[in-house]
Structure 1
Amino acid sequence: MRTLLAAHAHSGVRALAERPIVRAGSGWDCEMWRLGDDLCARLPRRASATALIEHEQSALPAIRARIAATGIRVPAPVAAGGPTDAFPWPWSVVPWIPGTTGLESARSARTPWAAQLAAALSALHVVADGLWPANPYRGVPLAQRDDVIRPRIRGLQDRGLLSPGDASRLATVWSRGAGAPPWARRPVWIHGDLHPGNRIVRDERLRAVIDFGDVTAGDPAYDLAAAWIVFDARGRAAFMDAYRADAATWTRAKGWAAAVGALLLEHGDGDPAHANLGREIVADVGAHDETPV
């Protein structure tokens, strides 16, 4: 990391090589290195993740400005690094925002910041004028993913990762979402990956929404799946009351939550936290709750 910073063309970035540097952790696509107290470097872990860094570099300055009024931070890049002999892909220097991820707290402990997340999404979900990063998996009509989600649910049952009852309930929720009236308005900006690990929380307050690599434009129901992905029934009620979407949007959102739960179960073998999140989502979307229909 120090060599990469020292090789950067911009003197301000080169100077960061003199700071204390500590590896802060990694996710599925990127890893983070702290650069002193207030900055960190965000680097893709594989070639396929380079587009995620580029999406953040292009979209986050405007998104940060819109969400700033809510008091919630977005780690828009303060410097963009390009490929060099030291590292072959684009990377970013972003603010370091202290706190813990939402994934480190129980679902029942997330209710205090449910309305804050709703406010941030209300600020984010504005009509996307001009160009936005293309994403064939997020914000699209649910019917476009039907040939992937249904076999995934059946496969999870076949592997013993879903009981027959849970598989049936998950498929029903997905079917209702896919059959709900689709988003008929202009595409709006969406985050595209709002699981609880992509929130920074401190003192029971939401401090930041992070990891915008899947940012795109489309149906906001994809983001609103957070009602079931992130919260328990009490937090979900607070979130839904604060955002105030129509019934069809919530039905599509619950369908997307079912799809995310299945995805996390399918790919959670090496990550117990994500596998557990998948099980929590399956339990919540399969239970009777207050979802408008």
Structure 2
Amino acid sequence: MPVPAELARALVDSQFPQWRELALERVGAHGTVNAVFRLGDRFSVRFPMRDEDVDTEAASAWELIGVTRFATPAPVAVGLPDLGFPRRWAVHTWLPGATPDGDSHAGSASLARDLAEFIGGVSARPTRGRSFRGRGRGGDLPAHDEWLQTCFRESEGLLDVAPLRRLWAELRELPRESPDVMCHGDLIPGNLLVAGERLTGVIDVGNLGAADPALDLICAWHLFDRDTREVLRRELDVPDLTWERSRAWAFQQVMGLIWYYDETNRPMARLGRGTLHRLTTNA
């Protein structure tokens, strides 16, 4: 559901009149779940473009604050459906920083070490009895067979599909050897904030939960060349099987990015193509 700037302004002004004088600017226009606006210098406003649970996102945000030295957003307020917008929406703290783009940090060992520190800090948190909740990536690889078959059909004409089918046939068989750990759940470049070569913050924390320990390692395939991926892997002492499963989860994600966003969200499609190149060539 699109969220025009005029609607976002009207919702903020009507429900939080104390912020009427703060500038409101759309950011992250290529996001796929929330329309995000910067409100002044202190806040971000998140309008779900599809059904999302802002309470779950807030609970995840509170749980993640202070877990590592890297900044994560804090909930500030919740807005209500109004003016034709049918969902609750959220105000969080604004975190400064840039997002990695393309191959901008492909050889950054510093960023690889920072990400390893973040992943290690999150995964060391107790699950408190939680296990994978059966939504999205992070559980059983074969559960995604139907989706991958859809992706292969839709990718005809865009990609050489036959070898990709064979690759998935191998990846889906990778066994699981480690129990669930806490994961951010969506460590794509657009959810990382950097200053130069260093990680400063991580956003979009609503997928925080217990999952396959390989899940958060997908960031290595999105961001880094072969040598730099090994830096992250050594920092976390990742076993061979877990590393291969991270490749499988990254493959599951990018096969959906390329065809689905080919016309509607070119940056996401480019991310998919770049990551798929690394996955298939070990570049």
Three-state SS of the structure 1 residue aligned to 2:58 is: helix
Provide the rounded CA distance (Å) in 2 between the counterparts of 1:132 and 1:79.
29
Out of 176, 185, 189, the position equivalent to 1:182 is: 176
Letter in 2 for 1:120: F
Cα-Cα RMSD:
2.5
- Tell me the number of residue pairs that the alignment of Structure 1 and Structure 2 aligns: 273
Provide the rounded CA distance (Å) in 1 between the counterparts of 2:217 and 2:238.
9
> Do 2:132 and 2:139's aligned partners in 1 also have CA atoms closer than 8 Å?
no
Q: Verify: 1:30 aligned to 2:34, yes or no.
A: yes
Unmatched segments (≥5 aa) in structure 2: 1-7
Residue 204 of structure 1, CA deviation: 1.8
Residue 232 of structure 1, CA deviation: 1.5
TM-score under structure 1 length normalisation = 0.83
Provide the rounded CA distance (Å) in 2 between the counterparts of 1:132 and 1:60.
18
Provide the rounded CA distance (Å) in 2 between the counterparts of 1:62 and 1:115.
23
Three-state SS of the structure 1 residue aligned to 2:136 is: coil
Provide the rounded CA distance (Å) in 1 between the counterparts of 2:56 and 2:230.
32
Residue 127 of structure 1, CA deviation: 3.5
Q: Verify: 1:19 aligned to 2:22, yes or no.
A: yes
Residue 64 of structure 1, CA deviation: 1.6
Structure 2 counterparts to residues 1-293 of structure 1, below 5 A: 1-8=8-15, 13-26=16-29, 27-46=31-50, 48=51, 50-51=52-53, 53-67=54-68, 71-85=69-83, 87-103=85-101, 106-108=104-106, 110-125=108-123, 126-130=125-129, 134-156=133-155, 159-163=156-160, 167-168=162-163, 170-185=164-179, 187-269=180-262, 270-288=264-282
Provide the rounded CA distance (Å) in 1 between the counterparts of 2:21 and 2:102.
32
Provide the rounded CA distance (Å) in 2 between the counterparts of 1:230 and 1:25.
18
> Do 1:72 and 1:209's aligned partners in 2 also have CA atoms closer than 8 Å?
yes
Residue 228 of structure 1, CA deviation: 1.1
Residue 140 of structure 1, CA deviation: 0.8
Cα-to-partner distance string for 1:232-256 (whole Å, 9 max, x where unaligned): 2122111111122221111111111
> Do 1:176 and 1:252's aligned partners in 2 also have CA atoms closer than 8 Å?
no
Letter in 1 for 2:44: C
Provide the rounded CA distance (Å) in 1 between the counterparts of 2:104 and 2:126.
33
Cα-to-partner distance string for 1:18-67 (whole Å, 9 max, x where unaligned): 32222224311211222211212111123x2x32x332112110112212
Provide the rounded CA distance (Å) in 1 between the counterparts of 2:115 and 2:132.
23
Three-state SS of the structure 2 residue aligned to 1:181 is: coil
Letter in 2 for 1:287: T
Unmatched segments (≥5 aa) in structure 1: none
TM-score under structure 2 length normalisation = 0.85
Question: 2:5 maps to what in 1?
Answer: none
Q: Aligned pair in 2 of structure 1 residues 277, 25: CA closer, same or farther (>3 Å)? A: closer
Q: Identity across aligned pairs (percent)?
A: 30
Provide the rounded CA distance (Å) in 1 between the counterparts of 2:168 and 2:119.
23
Provide the rounded CA distance (Å) in 2 between the counterparts of 1:284 and 1:19.
43
Letter in 1 for 2:61: L
Residue 132 of structure 1, CA deviation: 7.8
Three-state SS of the structure 2 residue aligned to 1:102 is: coil
Question: 2:4 maps to what in 1?
Answer: none
Provide the rounded CA distance (Å) in 2 between the counterparts of 1:130 and 1:90.
29
> Do 2:102 and 2:274's aligned partners in 1 also have CA atoms closer than 8 Å?
no
